[in-house]
Structure 1
Amino acid sequence: MKQLAAALIFFTRLPLWRVVRVPDACYRRVVAYWSATGWLTAAVTAGVLYGAAFLLPVPAAVLAAVIARVLLTGALHEDGLSDFLDGFGGGRTREQTLAIMKDSRTGSYGIIGLILYFGLLVALLASLPVPVACAAVLCGDPFCKFVASMTINFLPYARPAAQSKSGVVYAPMRVGEIVCGAAFGVLPMLSLFYPPYWLAGLAPFACIAWLIRQMRRRIGGYTGDCCGAAFLLCEGSFYVALVVLYRYYGSGTGAAYLG
C-alpha cells in the first residue's frame, strides 16, 4: 500500500503525504504503479467529460475534462513533454539537449508542441460519441502509462543521480512489478472494448519503441521529462488509432457496453 501511496503522491497533487508517511525508497519504484494511478486520473477525466457533456458542447466538455486532469496531476506530464520537445528540438549534442531539458524556461518547441498536442487531443476525443470517448480515456490513460513505464527497463538514467530534477531516479521494474503494471494497464481495455479495438494498443508500443530509440541515440538514456513525454505521445497515438478503428468499424462495434 505504501508503494501505491507513493505513486499517488508523486504522480498527482493529492495531499496524501499529510496522512501517509512514505519512506523515500518507495519513490524509486513508483513507475511500477504508474498505470494504477491512471485509474484515478482516467476516472476523473472521464467523469468530468461525461458530466460536462450534459451542459456544454462536446469539444468544450472534452477541454474541461483535460483541464481537470492537468489540475489533478499538476501538469507533471505536460511539463515533461514541453521540456522534451525543447531539448530534442533545439539541442544538437547530448550535453546541450540535457541542459535545455533541465532549463525551467519554455522554448518555442515546447510551446508549439503543447498547443498541437492539446488541439489534437481535444479534436480526437470530441470526434467520438461521449460514451465512447469516456471509455477511450478509461482505457488509454492507464494503458499508455504502462507502455511508457517500459522506458526505464530499456534505458539507463541519462544524468548522474544527483542531477535529477525530481530528486528521484527510478529503479528498473522487477518481473512482479511489470505484471502488476500490465494488469492495471490492460484490464480496462479488455473490459470496455471489443477485440477489434484492442488493435489500437499496437500504436503506443510502436511509439515507445521509436522514442526509446531516439532517447538512446540522442542522450544515451532517459530522464523524468522523457517519461512524461513518452506517456502523452503514446496516449496520443492510442487515440489516433482508436478513432481510425472506430470510423472503420462504425458505432455498431464501438464500446462493449454500447452493444
Structure 2
Amino acid sequence: MNVVALIDFDAAGAATGHRLVDPDAPQLLVTDLGATRGDGIFETASLVHGSVQALEAHLQRLVQSAAMLQLPAPDIDVWRDAVREVGATLTAGGVTEGSIKFVLTRGVEGAGVPTGWVFGTDSPDFTADRTDGIRIVLLDRGYRHDVSQTSPWLLAGAKTLSYAVNRAVQREAARRGADDVLFVSSDGYLLEGPTSTLVMRMGGRLVTPRVDIGILAGTTQADLFAWAESAGFATGYELLTPDDLAAADAAWLVSSVRHVAPVRAVDGAARAIDAELTARMNAALDARTE
C-alpha cells in the first residue's frame, strides 16, 4: 500500500498545508532540482502499530539538513500534520509496519519555490536481519574524520538526496558477499553505514561513533540509548576504530525502518551475536510512540 501527501507552498516559498494525492499519478516535474541535481533533503521514519516513531527527532533533523543546504526552513507543523495523516491512512489500510519518507527539494530551477512530499508504504520483512544478523564490509569513505570542520561544503552530516555513493557501496557489499557496509574514514575511524548507525557493546557499555565526525546523529540510536540507560547500561559517543569493533562483545547497525540488526560477520570473519540483547532492543524500539 502506498500513500502520498504533497506539501503546498505559496509564491514566496512558505508551506501552507498538505493534501493527499493519487500515489499512482505523476507528481514531480522533470525540471525539479531534486530530480536533476539531487538538490534536496529527506528523512525516513518508521510506522509501527499506528505510531510514527521518533517523529519529532526526524523533523528536527530535517530542519538541520535544510539549514546546511540553505533551503527554506521547513514549517514543522505542516510537515508533522502531513506525516501523521499519511501514517493514519496506512494504518487504516491495514499496515502494521511501514516507512514514511518526507522529502524537501529546492524545486524547479529558478522558480524560488521548494517542492515537498511525504510518501508512506509497507516495510519489507526484516525478521531475518533482526534475528540471524547481517554480514558487513568496511569500506573507505575517502575523507578524514574531521571533514565537517575542514570542508563543510561537502555537507557531511546532512541527509541529502545525493545517494549515488550510498547505493554504489551497497552493490559493492553484495559483490563481496555481504549485506551492508560500515564506512571508515581515510584516517582510520569508524563512521556509519549508508543508512544506519553503528552501536557496539563493550562490557556493560553501549558506544557509538561521535556525531561531530561528519556523520548523521542517529534518531533510532538516540532512542536506543535512552532505553539502554533505563536498563542499566552506560552509554557513550567515542572515536572508534576497526580494532575496537573486533574487540567488542557485540555490534549492531541501527536504523529507523530495519531497527536493530546484529553484525554476524565483518569482512568475512564471523563474530558472535547477542541474540537476547538484540531481542530486547528491538522490543524496546517497537514499543516507542512519537
Q: Same fold per TM (> 0.5)? A: no
Give the structure with the higher percent helix.
Answer: 1
TM-score by length of structure 2 reads 0.25
Give the structure with the higher percent strand.
Answer: 2
- Bigger RCO of structures 1 and 2 (CA < 8 A, at least 6 apart): 1
Which has the larger Rg? 2
TM-score by length of structure 1 reads 0.27
